[in-house]
Structure 1
Amino acid sequence: MATTERRSHSPDPAALADARAEWTARELGQSLAQRPERRDRFESLSGLPVERVYGPDDVAGCDYLRDIGFPGRYPYTRGPYPTMYRSRPWTMRQIAGFGTAGDTNARLKYLIAQGQTGISIDFDMPTLMGVDSDDPRARGEVGREGVAVDTVDDLDGILEGIDIGRISVSMTINPTAWILFAMYLVIADRRGIPRDALSGTVQADILKEYIAQKEWLYPIPAGMRIVRDLIIYSVRHLPHYNPINISGYHIREAGATAVQEAAFTLANGIAYVDEVSRKGLSVDEFAPRLAFYFIAERDFFEEVAKFRAARRVWARLMRERFGAQKPESMRLRFHCQTAGSSLTAKEPLNNVARTALQALSAVLGGAQSLHANGMDEALAIPSELAMKVALRTQQIILDETGVANTIDPLAGSYFAESLTNRVEDGIWAYLRRIDELGGAVEAAKRNFFQ
């Protein structure tokens, strides 16, 4: 049987340039003469230029061991863990939250029965803003865009029949996160569940509220102090809990580009590290419990590049700026959600395809947990069927496509590596500008992010 022997070698730069020029003049020139390209300029969703073809010269400055390396090893470009999904698939965490505690509890139990591996709870606006459901200001908003919680018993009802010692619980809440966190601990105590068995997060990222989502109750210094105290308490008493989920999702939904989303989120992360460090904790005491939250938008390759670049930048920040020693302190772990703003009310079945591709980019980018949006979210609170299809989408990606069988499969692609480098360069440029303003807190006070 005939075989083809393949020998790897790096092309001579001059020879490569000559070959590209010849291809441009001959094959490309003839093709363009017969059929022009669809547009004069191709670019990513964020406006980054996309070249016609990529080759070795586009990654000439990239050092494999320095910039890419191996999964679970600094700078973690290829993922935070050595085996990634080959050992532990990402957590499938579909959000639920609407109406009463009983309504949301039924949805959570339904999703768990369908194979969901983590739970996530959305709260209504009065709960987010610390207003009771019977307050006149809550009129028309109770249970509308999330579940209403006024008391510990309400949250207990949401989690009724769910073993919170064995499944991670994420609560999407920020200005009143510390209150819901306290309720969660009371419920665990009632049920006799030890603190070291609890896992999950309250989002608690108050800086992104001042930047994008605008759900805040206190001036920035007071908001930062509450987050700081929440982090310190958690790392001392809940060893498996993520007390903060530093969020770029809402920043992106408010109009940021992919580079801005990553840069502003990491800048906020720097601010939280600074805030906690000022209380005398070493970075290795608390940094391993910091988690992040990004969007998976429409531009497939740009999103994968964003996730990879964000990991690399965070690792270098933690080691070079903050002197972290533990690998866990340098690993950026993130939850991901597909893009709500990309969904359409017209022809909502098309949203299934959109969500599948966005979820795939999150997986190829190495997400630790994932929510796939429901096909009818542009119309109303997602239906039970929509959430089932979204969960099945994740399960199909894991079990039927083979993409989780190898780690960081796009690594080495000239396009993927070039785009990762370009996104990283953009992140560093923004971080330098934010540092010049005095950091994320001062930048927020000056409305820089807007």
Structure 2
Amino acid sequence: MDKSERETIRQAKADWEAEEVAAFQARRPERQEIFRTLSGHPVDRLYTPAEVEAGGYEERLGFPGRYPFTRGPYPTMYRAQPWTMRQIAGFGTAGETNRRFTYLIAQGQTGISCDFDMPTLMGYDSDDPRSAGEVGREGVAIDTLADFEDLFEGIDLGEISVSMTINPTAWILLAMYVALAEQRGTPFTRLSGTIQNDIIKEYIAQKEWIFPVRPSMRIVRDTIVFGARQLPRFNPVNVSGYHIREAGATAVQEAAFTLAAGIAYVEEVLKTGMDVDEFALRLSFYFISHSDFFEEIAKFRAARRIWARIMRQRFKARRPESMRLRFHCQTSGASLTAVQPLNNVARVALQALAAVLGGCQSLHTNGWDEALAIPSEQAMTLALRTQQIIAEETGVTKSIDPLGGSYLIEAFTDRIEREVTAYLARIDSLGGTLACIERNFFQKEIA
């Protein structure tokens, strides 16, 4: 579309607002003077081609599985297979959590996700006095390899992917996972899954860390290098925006701070002399799917495009696999209410649909009772069924990026890309991600 045609559309829209809209509003005013997204950005009453960034189709959108990956990281997306349905479980003893894993797998879950209790996260044994009141409360208690054996009793590590939500002690749990596979005779080439291992977001949002940030980065670096060399199908880091958003960030801040963390990890690994294409293809990400339906879809699409450009232009990646952003998604826990909790079923379903329309690779849907307690078996079953209904009954898996080309979606995607890129430039000007952590930049921005 040339400049004159865009200007013609702008003028026609202005005429429409001055005539039809003004006359109708005189009789029936709009509900608000300004409509805004959940992140506070104004929303126009109508989007046209004039609101979408100029530029070639292939440069901005392209095709799924091809740079810049706006429309998806894989060529066939859900037409080949749906996203991994990965419900989180983790409470009490290893045996109790194993029974939840086994139950969910029997209900059709296609991936495992495990939460660990606070003592395990922080490196304390369950019998340490400092662990009192916390053992098994917000995750499963793991002290020894024997606990880990119980956790995965009857589960073939070579047949199902495993995600572990743990950070300051991630390297210890990864060692247990590898040791268990070795003990069972499972080849490392068959192991698939993810360990979160994202220490940066702990300093920004979650606040569960043991060592200062720079020594902690060395541990993350070493696990990424180990994973690249020994675990070809395993993601040794899951760069997480979920916790940042739940701490109060906007959609733009979530994407910007998460990508800034990703940049820091790439820079750290490059210090070892490892080529970017040796490890970047196994980096993975973790985003929230919050309540503003269109803003969330646009956020996911913008994040893919920005990351692809960062990897190609900044880090000189050559392999397409190194440029594609793959992400796990979870619906928003902070959006759930303890009052009228069954309403959370609808919230979760819409957030899950946004994650799917945004092209997630795996998804956890929260239980309706999570505002009250660790989710019950019944609530987790319903949450899993929500994903299965989306996959099997709505038709959204039949076409790739079905909202691509929507003027609103493309305008939102362009706007989020601009704002995230500006944030990343600001972070660089302040000395980079680690320097920003040390001067509390991220924390102040969220606050």
Query: Is TM-score (shorter-chain normalized) higher than 0.5?
Result: yes
Q: Is the 2:53–2:414 Cα contact (8 Å) retained in structure 1?
A: no
**How far did 1:290 drift?**
0.3
CA distance in structure 2 between the partners assigned to 1:234 and 1:247 by the alignment: 18
After TM superposition, the structure 1 stretch with the greater mean CA deviation from structure 2, 304-313 or 30-39, is 30-39
CA distance in structure 2 between the partners assigned to 1:21 and 1:229 by the alignment: 57
1:344 aligns with 2:355: no
Indicate the SS of the match to 2:200: helix
1:224-263 maps to which residues of 2 (within 5 A)? 224-263=217-256
CA distance in structure 1 between the partners assigned to 2:286 and 2:53 by the alignment: 32
1:298-313 maps to which residues of 2 (within 5 A)? 298-313=291-306
Indicate the SS of the match to 1:119: strand
Q: Write the deviation string for residues 231-287 of structure 1: whole angstroms up to 9, x where unpaired.
A: 001110110000000000000001110000000000000000000000000100000
1:148 aligns with 2:141: yes
Corresponding position of 1:196: 189
**How far did 1:19 drift?**
2.4
Corresponding position of 1:355: 348
Which residue of 412, 420, 435 maps to 1:427? 420
CA distance in structure 1 between the partners assigned to 2:201 and 2:234 by the alignment: 21
Q: Write the deviation string for residues 189-215 of structure 1: whole angstroms up to 9, x where unpaired.
A: 111101001011110000110111010
**How far did 1:444 drift?**
0.4
Which residue of 80, 101, 104 maps to 1:108? 101
CA distance in structure 2 between the partners assigned to 1:328 and 1:184 by the alignment: 25
CA distance in structure 2 between the partners assigned to 1:345 and 1:60 by the alignment: 42
Corresponding position of 2:268: 275
CA distance in structure 2 between the partners assigned to 1:378 and 1:63 by the alignment: 45
With normalisation by structure 1, the TM-score equals 0.97
CA distance in structure 2 between the partners assigned to 1:147 and 1:155 by the alignment: 10
1:309-320 maps to which residues of 2 (within 5 A)? 309-320=302-313
**How far did 1:13 drift?**
3.5
CA distance in structure 2 between the partners assigned to 1:190 and 1:118 by the alignment: 22
Corresponding position of 2:156: 163
Q: Is the 2:53–2:411 Cα contact (8 Å) retained in structure 1?
A: no
1:176 aligns with 2:175: no
Corresponding position of 1:49: 42
The aligned amino acid for 2:123 is G
Indicate the SS of the match to 2:257: helix
Corresponding position of 1:29: 22
Indicate the SS of the match to 2:440: coil
The aligned amino acid for 1:96 is A
Corresponding position of 1:4: none
Indicate the SS of the match to 2:102: helix
User: Structure 1 residues 429, 286: CA separation in 2 closer, same or farther (over 3 Å shift)?
Assistant: same
Corresponding position of 1:134: 127
Indicate the SS of the match to 1:85: helix
**How far did 1:60 drift?**
4.7
User: Structure 1 residues 14, 27: CA separation in 2 closer, same or farther (over 3 Å shift)?
Assistant: same
CA distance in structure 1 between the partners assigned to 2:362 and 2:398 by the alignment: 17
1:93 aligns with 2:86: yes
Gaps of 5+ in 2: none
CA distance in structure 1 between the partners assigned to 2:301 and 2:17 by the alignment: 31
With normalisation by structure 2, the TM-score equals 0.98
Q: Which runs of 4+ in 1 moved over 6 A?
A: 8-11
Which residue of 24, 31, 35 maps to 1:38? 31
1:292 aligns with 2:285: yes
Q: Write the deviation string for residues 152-195 of structure 1: whole angstroms up to 9, x where unpaired.
A: 11111011001111100000000000000001111111111010
The aligned amino acid for 2:52 is V
Which residue of 396, 402, 416 maps to 1:403? 396
Indicate the SS of the match to 2:14: helix
Q: Is the 2:291–2:332 Cα contact (8 Å) retained in structure 1?
A: yes
Indicate the SS of the match to 1:295: strand
CA distance in structure 1 between the partners assigned to 2:132 and 2:180 by the alignment: 28
Corresponding position of 1:205: 198
CA distance in structure 2 between the partners assigned to 1:366 and 1:432 by the alignment: 26
CA distance in structure 2 between the partners assigned to 1:139 and 1:264 by the alignment: 34
CA distance in structure 2 between the partners assigned to 1:244 and 1:13 by the alignment: 43
Which residue of 387, 412, 415 maps to 2:408? 415
Indicate the SS of the match to 1:12: helix
**How far did 1:222 drift?**
1.0
CA distance in structure 1 between the partners assigned to 2:133 and 2:227 by the alignment: 35
Q: Write the deviation string for residues 7-47 of structure 1: whole angstroms up to 9, x where unpaired.
A: x9998344423422331122111210111111111111111
CA distance in structure 1 between the partners assigned to 2:374 and 2:14 by the alignment: 55
CA distance in structure 2 between the partners assigned to 1:371 and 1:14 by the alignment: 44
Corresponding position of 1:3: none
Corresponding position of 2:439: 446
User: Structure 1 residues 14, 208: CA separation in 2 closer, same or farther (over 3 Å shift)?
Assistant: closer
Gaps of 5+ in 1: 1-7
Corresponding position of 1:61: 54
Q: Is the 2:9–2:48 Cα contact (8 Å) retained in structure 1?
A: no
| Alignment: residue pair count | 443
**How far did 1:97 drift?**
0.3
User: Structure 1 residues 54, 195: CA separation in 2 closer, same or farther (over 3 Å shift)?
Assistant: same
Q: Percent identity?
A: 67
**How far did 1:132 drift?**
0.5
CA distance in structure 2 between the partners assigned to 1:88 and 1:10 by the alignment: 41
Indicate the SS of the match to 1:432: helix
Corresponding position of 2:321: 328
Indicate the SS of the match to 1:340: coil
CA distance in structure 2 between the partners assigned to 1:384 and 1:17 by the alignment: 53
Q: Is the 2:7–2:50 Cα contact (8 Å) retained in structure 1?
A: no
After TM superposition, the structure 1 stretch with the greater mean CA deviation from structure 2, 15-24 or 206-215, is 15-24
User: Structure 1 residues 33, 402: CA separation in 2 closer, same or farther (over 3 Å shift)?
Assistant: same
